[in-house]
A = this chain, B = another copy of it.
Amino acid sequence: MKRLVLISSFLFCLAANAQQNIFMQNEIMSPVVNADHSVTINYFNPNAKSVEVSGDFLDKQKVQTQFGVQEVDGTISLTKNDNGLWTYTSQPLAPELYSYTLSVDGQRVLDPSNVYMNRDIANYSNIFIISHEKGDKGYLYSVNDVPHGDVARVWYDSPTLGMQRRMTIYTPAGYASSKEKLPVMYLLHGAGGDEEAWPAQGRAAQILDNLIALGKTKPMIVVMTNGNTDCAAAPGEWAAGMYKPSFTGRGGQSKADMDESFKDVMSYVESHYRILPGKKNHAVCGLSMGGLHTYQISKMYPDTFDYIGLFSALIQLSPAPLHGGAEAFSNTTVDDKVAQQLAQLFAAKPTLYWIAIGKTDFLYQNNEIYRKYLDSKNYKYEYVETEEGHIWRNWRDYLTIFSQRCFK
Q: How large is the interface on A (under 10, 10 to 19, 20 to 34, 35 or more residues)?
A: 35 or more
Q: Which of A111-129 contact B (CB under 8 A)?
A: 112-116, 119-125, 127-129
**Interfacial chain B residues near A233, Cβ < 8 Å:** 143
Q: How far is the CB of A266 from chain B (nearest CB, A)?
A: 16
Among A218-236, those with CB < 8 Å from B are 228-230, 233, 235-236
Q: How far is the CA of A404 from the CA of B114 in the complex (A)?
A: 38
Contacting B at CB under 8 A, from A142-193, are: 142-145, 147-155, 164, 166, 173, 176-177, 191-192
A81 adjacent to chain B (CB < 8 Å)? no
List the B residue with the shortest CB-CB distance to A115: B122
| Given A148-B166, A192-B22, A239-B145: A17 touches B247 (CB 8 Å cut-off) | no
Q: Do A19 and B115 contact each other (CB < 8 Å), given the known contacts A14-B326, A257-B3?
A: no
Q: How far is the CA of A254 from the CA of B236 in the complex (A)?
A: 37
| B151 engages A152 (CB within 8 Å) | yes
Cβ-closest chain B residue relative to A201: B20
Which residue of chain B has its CB nearest to the CB of A236?
A: B116
Chain B, Cβ-Cβ closest to A252: B1
From A66-74, A344-352, A378-386, give the one contacting chain B: A66-74
Q: Does A12 contact B (CB under 8 A)?
A: yes
Name the distance in Å between A104's Cβ and chain B's nearest Cβ: 7
Contact B244 A11 (CB under 8 A): no
Interface membership of A140, Cβ < 8 A: no
Report A213 CB to chain B, min CB distance, Å. Answer: 12
Q: Is the CB of A105 within 8 A of B11?
A: no
Q: Which of A88-96, A301-309, A368-376, A388-396 is near enough to bind chain B? A: A388-396
Residue pair B72, A19 in contact (C-beta under 8 Å):
yes
